[in-house]
Chains A and B, each alone.
Chain A
């Protein structure tokens, strides 16, 4: 079984540019989550999809962040325009049912210069 895959693994962009991160969950996993770890601090929840619907997006920092999951398969997280404080590692995770352990991807390291 393929795990959660994230692309790219690393992205370096300039302040003001746009970046789109992609996550492919484990096949059959309806629940998809985005988390972020900034500057070696705690890993923080961003949002949760159930299939294509946003179940909870209370962790999204501001309206520069837009997440989509068209068709309930892969998800994208777009940051537009990027700011310096957006630098960090963005993790995607998926689970088959809501109370089963999360499977995390290896993350995308975003560096905004």
Chain B
């Protein structure tokens, strides 16, 4: 039973355009979400997070949107750069109090930025 789903295994975007990565979740108890970025042969690195009390969080070129009623979140990258090419994982913690414990990850979306 996959509680965090990333239905697009891959995405290609032209450099300079907007990249939109999507994530759906089934567990209505999730109230905090994170995005991690992973380069080949490296571990995931934290990118951005959002609490359920917000519907948007922005950090430079990265913005995460949360739609609680639809149980859907998305990561927007604008403008996309070649260094953004990586696998992006959506994640949610399995405990109510701490933001990073027992993370449940999606299967990831491989983003390729085309120069």
Contact = CB atoms under 8 A, between A and B. Distances in A.
Contacts of A102: 46, 100, 103
Nearest to A41: B107
A106 B58 CA distance: 27
Contacts, number: 61
A48 B102 CA distance: 8
Given A42-B108, A45-B94, A91 B44 contact: yes
Contacts of B89: 42-43
Counting chain A CB atoms within 10 Å of each CB, the highest count among B43, B49, B107 belongs to B43
A71 interface: no
Interface in A39-53: 40-45, 48
A100 interface: yes
Interface string A72-113: 000000000000000000010101001111111111000000
Contacts of A44: 105
A42 B5 CA distance: 9
Interface of B: 2, 4, 34, 36, 41-46, 49, 89, 91, 94, 97-108
Task: List the 8 shortest-distance A-B pairs measured between CB atoms, nearest first.
Answer: A104-B43, A101-B46, A43-B105, A98-B98, A99-B99, A99-B98, A42-B105, A42-B107
